[in-house]
Structure 1
Amino acid sequence: MAGNSKRKGAIRKAGTKKGAVVGSGGQRRRGLRGKGPTPPAEMRPGHPAYRRAAAAARQAEQRDKKRRAEESAPEHVAGRNPVVECLRAQVPSTALYVALGIDVDDRVTEAIRMAADRGVSVLEVSRQELDRITDGAIHQGLALQVPPFSYAHPDDLLMAADGSGEPPLLVALDGVTDPRNLGAVIRSAAAFGAHGVVVPQRRSAGMTAVAWRTSAGTAAKLPIARATNLTRTLKDWASKGLMLVGLDADGTATVDELDLATGPLVVVVGSEGRGLSRLVRETCDQTVSIPMAAGIESLNASVAAGVVLAEVARRRRRASRV
């Protein structure tokens, strides 16, 4: 009969270690304890949403690694005219590659002479190797290696302005993706007395060889900073007394009414297509437009920046004479 303690095997021998002999051992109490809320699907291993989130995280990490590798890798300018223009503009260079058996002309001779005068290594390579170096670009037997650009910190721009003895004048680019526009803005900023240019870290043109060439070498004389978050950087500058003026086709004032020009100022230039982003526009103290003839919608970003910076420089010169 079940439960008969006198039956052989019905009672456990003394000294055995197979669980509790009397009571539940606390299992019933732990069984009644709540396990808390169910975690989101993305946090439950084995759930399809968890696998999708993990795959997205791996892809994002790979993109970041690729971006960092591209930023740290040297750039190559291919073609006789581009190489000569970069050397004339004194773009920082580490090597000039010349194809074996190249048909020498005036541009090749000038490129080799300028590279030698500046201490840039001149290396002869096969055309197959030059094709590999330039990733199949049309190089015409010449390629120039340009090292990664060394960006300043946004705080360095304020330090440079404070050391000038003049009211700070900075330029911020909001999503300008054409390196030629970036180079042209840097050239205008240097020409009209700006103390530095800041660009966002993402979704913006960087200091490539094309930007160097367009700036005509002025990027070596003007600090260029990269901001992780442009809106946060602008707010930080505003807290330090700088006024933010954004270029916008629907601005609240025209460039002729730019009374803030003589004080500490940041000129914010929008992208070529959409202009200023919403957050940056809301951060600006004032938005200004440029009066134009009927039928013309807008100016190129670099041209608009040059017009406004020229007006700022004019007003500052007039104020200094008063």
Structure 2
Amino acid sequence: MSQPIIQTHGLDFYFKDFKALDQINLKVPKGSIYGFLGPNGAGKTTTIRVLLDLFHPKVNQVKIFGKELRANKVEILGKVGALIENPSIYKHLSGRQNLEVIRKMVDVPKERIDEVLKIVRLMDNADKKAKNYSLGMCQRLGLAGALLTDPDLLILDEPTNGLDPSGIIEMRELIIELNKEHGKTIFLSSHILSEIEKLATDVAIIDQGKILYQGKLEGLHQDNSGLELIIETNEVSQAAEVLKSMNYTVSEHNGRSIHIPIGEKQEVAQINRALVDKNLDIYQLKTSEQNLESIFLNITKKLDQ
């Protein structure tokens, strides 16, 4: 097995007395799309800022490309492209002019601008002012800037955040293309579970600064195999309270139905009896395989107990 492209060892990070990261041990395989999954405030952006040495880790806590980050910062970050939150774009300049500003800073050949514009599918809008770009186009322009140095590793923090459905699809297709056709290892932070499920080859789940799972995406499903029970009832709030009192995790509660993870189908009859005993009308009970969202909520609930 090849050496991980990112590796952290017992990574801690504090904001004064608050421990934002707690013993983070990441292993990001070369060539992967590594989904870094967690709710807002879990520690995702803090981890990314540490990986980019914007927040300074202790010596020997972070290795990238097999080299210690603090001692080899310039060499390492020269092979890393990053898009952190919303890209900084000069709205009065065109897309091409924005890239020219970055190109001069990173000192790459001028022809690289057209190459990255083609990759991110902005060639037709390259000379339009950025103030006329959609949010999705701005995100792709930011990604083009990150690609100017032709990095081996891309670190993307919530790249689909705020995008409309078409923008999300465009970004998803682009990430897959960069991985498969351009050979980029991609570290992808997101709280959008469905996107991680469609993109990632490997995942880590972080919550409250701790890693709860790390490994292959299919391994997450295998390790948390089970069913999801969908209950349609006339009184979802009361039904949810009954289920919580039975130590079930309510993964969704939308006014019409309740979703809970269960271990086996035999539990369905027990749950039905308990709800009927509370004089609740049950319209439908339906089981399905757990999706990533219900697995994620089940795992993070365990941390709170």
Give the TM-score, by structure 1 length: 0.24
Give the TM-score, by structure 2 length: 0.25
| Structure with the greater alpha carbon radius of gyration | 1
